[in-house]
Amino acid sequence: MSSLVFARGLWKTYRLSESVSVDALRGLDISIDENEFVSIIGPSGSGKSTLLNLIGCLDTPTKGELTFDGEKVSETDDRTLTRIRSEKIGFIFQTFNLLPALRALDNVEFPMRTVRRDKRLGKPLRKKRARELLEMVGLEERTSHLPSELSGGERQRVAIARALVNDPRLVLADEPTGNLDSVTARNIVNLLHEINDGGKTIIMVTHDMKITGGTKVLRMKDGAIET
Ligand SMILES: Nc1ncnc2c1ncn2[C@@H]1O[C@H](COP(=O)(O)OP(=O)(O)OP(=O)(O)O)[C@@H](O)[C@H]1O
Ligand SMILES: [Mg+2]
């Protein structure tokens, strides 16, 4: 079986000026199968977010091979990357990144509006699906709240519902519990486990070893995976 995410010799060099550059990834290899739950840990600056951004098609590698769901994303154009991102990948961030002017329901609906026209659901169906996902994350009573009217844990639940709304192949979470207390963090990770049990592949970056239980742990150091 081929992997969902496969990288060989992945390099990412950030060029700051003619003479200054940072090698954030240095020949990294990785292989992640469908339905795995992978935690990525490692010191600050070791390249965890850089790796997640490449896997999430938000950025492209400087060198090396990266394949996602059978497509060679290391050698493709921006249009294709945008399509893959919107149709196949859900993102969850430490700072939730909800749109502040939109109510919970509209935040969840939002990514469905970016889907290619011929695959896009009509508005009533989009609202219905957003409502179902908010129910799934336990927020059926909060659909009309603005982000500022929700607790941190509730905001992250909205973000998780939003990440799932286009039925992605992969969910990427960069320190999803970094802004939450330990009890709320545990609840959010439990929710991610439920989503993984439901068939989604999850890659989560975390500093917190307490929440990696039940997942495959990859340790990063100096831009590569430690073996
Ligand atoms: N856009 C950028 N431009 C230049 N350098 C960058 C950029 N993004 C990251 N870097 C550098 O690349 C290296 C890896 O950064 P990255 O954000 O991937 O680390 P990280 O493991 O996610 O760290 P943290 O745990 O603090 O979030 C760091 O040295 C960082 O300074
Ligand atoms: Mg980071």
Q: What is the pLDDT of residue 1?
A: 61
Per-residue pLDDT, 227 = 80
CA of 53 to the centre of ligand 2 (A): 10
Going by alpha carbons, the residue nearest to atom 7 of ligand 1 is: 14
Tell me which residue has its CA closest to atom 16 in ligand 1.
Answer: 47
For 5-99+150-226, CATH gives: 3.40.50.300
Q: Show me where the domains of the chain are located.
A: 5-99+150-226
In this structure, which residue's CA is closest to atom 4 in ligand 1?
A: 14
In the chain the first and final C-alpha atoms are separated, in Å, by 23
Which residues, 6 or more positions from 55, have their beta carbon under 8 angstroms from its beta carbon? 5, 7, 66, 68, 170, 172, 203
Scanning the chain, the segments in alpha helix (DSSP H) are 48-55, 78-88, 104-109, 123-136, 152-164, 182-197
* Token digits of residue 146: 């603005």
pLDDT digits (tens), the chain, 227 positions: 679 999 999 999 999 999 999 999 999 999 999 999 999 999 999 999 999 999 999 999 999 999 999 999 999 999 999 999 999 999 999 999 999 999 999 999 999 998 889 999 999 999 999 999 999 999 999 999 999 999 999 999 999 999 999 999 999 999 999 999 999 999 999 999 999 999 999 999 998 899 999 899 999 999 999 98
Pocket (CB within 6 angstroms of ligand 1):
14, 16, 22, 24, 42, 44-50
User: What ligand 1 atom has the least distance to the C-alpha of 205?
Assistant: 22
